[in-house]
Amino acid sequence: MDATTLDIEPLDGCGAMVRGCDVRRATDGEIDRLRQAIFDRGVIFLEDQQLTPEDQIAFARRIAPIVVNRYFPKTERYPEIAKVEKSEAQTTNIGGGWHTDHSYDQAPAMGSVLLAVETPPTGGDTLFADMYAAYEALPEATKQTLLRLKAHHASAHVFGENSAYARTDRPELSGHKDTPEAVHPVIITHPGSGKRALYVNPAFTTGIVGWSREESLALLSELYAHAIKPQFVRRFQWRPGSMAIWDNRCTWHCAMNDYQGHRRLMHRITLDGVPLAA
């Protein structure tokens, strides 16, 4: 397969579908095109990728360096691969609210490579929202206000002692002592596309720097409602061998939890990022 067979089709809402690509055999030129498509479209989807864990790790490393997530359970032999799993009996899933990964880090994760291993007969889709488009659609005066603001991001309320997961049937995801916090611009310029994106998210953003909690919540809740308008959202339906590679700097994602009584297992590799600037 050479670069001419690889087809990247932009999708409505968010993302692009890639056809004609077996990532195990991708040329360096194809890897560059995939990386740029991730930067430009926010997320790319591929089907029928028959990958061993070694294949997934080798492919991910060609896109960007790998960073190991602090909180998720790892696959037995591969610390680079986190298990995003929900068993038949569990009721809480991982990533079941809108978020972007690792925004609590000083240099937030660039992205994630998620491979479907076991999927439920129906349900278990993932929603992706385009933060470039969400930014672009804001009124000009709001853009000018947001361009001057920074926001706090934290992890303790999700993964620390007595965190949200502690009150669910997934307490293993809580109780962590390593709970970083960071401050980032509310509007970032994406380092790989040069485009502006809205960079706050419902899971990890805890407030606007210099604003009271009430003032922060009023602004953030308005931005959150705006960012998930249907025109910015793409829903992806998985089957074993489906793969999504998303960019955390310009998308949000949300894993649907609508398949109670069935198992869903995904292998996730997180890609390292850089500090973000306005």
Residues that bind ligand SIN (CB under 6 A): 84, 94-95, 112, 114, 126, 253, 255, 266, 268
Q: Which is nearer to ligand SIN, 109 or 198 (CB)?
A: 109
- Residue closer to ligand SIN by CB (options 83, 143) is 83
Provide the 8-state DSSP code for 215: H
Count of positions (residues) in the chain: 278
Of the pair 33, 264, the CB lying nearest ligand SIN is at 264
Catalytic-residue membership of 190:
no
CB of 49 to ligand SIN, least distance (A): 16
Q: Is 41 a catalytic residue?
A: no
Q: Does residue 99 have an active-site annotation?
A: yes
Q: At what angle do helices 28-41 and 53-63 cross, to 10 degrees?
A: 70
**From 102, 152, 253, 267, the catalytic residue:** 253
Residue 250 CA to residue 210 CA, distance in Å, equals 24
Count the alpha carbons within 13 Å of 122 in the hemisphere toward its beta carbon.
0
- Residue 201 or 216: the one with the smaller Cβ distance to ligand SIN is 201
β-pair partners for 237 = none
Minimal CB distance residue for ligand SIN: 95
Report in angstroms how near the CB of residue 112 gets to ligand SIN at its nearest.
6
The CA distance from 110 to 192, in Å, is 10
Nearer to ligand SIN, 82 or 186 (CB): 82
Angstrom CA distances, 200 to 76, 111, 218, 245, 251, stand at 33, 16, 13, 20, 10
Shortest distance, CB of residue 266 to ligand SIN, whole angstroms?
A: 5
Residue 209 C-beta: closest distance to ligand SIN, Å: 26
- d(CA 115, CA 84) in angstroms, rounded, equals 10
> One of 35, 41, 99, 102 is an active-site residue; which one?
99
Closest contact distance (angstroms) between CB of 44 and ligand SIN is 15
Q: Which is nearer to ligand SIN, 234 or 253 (CB)?
A: 253
Q: What's the one-letter identity of residue 104? A: Y
Which member of 101, 105, 130, 247 is catalytic?
101
DSSP letters, 141-161, are HHHHHHTT-EEEEESHHHHST
User: Nearest CA to 131 among 33, 237, 248?
Assistant: 248
Q: What's the Rg (C-alpha) of the chain?
A: 18
Tell me the sheet residues that pair with 150: 185
Backbone angles phi, psi at 8, to 5 degrees: -120, 110
Instruction: Give the nearest distance from C-beta 104 to ligand SIN in angstroms.
Output: 14
101 belongs to the catalytic site: yes
Where in the sequence numbering do the catalytic residues fall?
99, 101, 253, 268
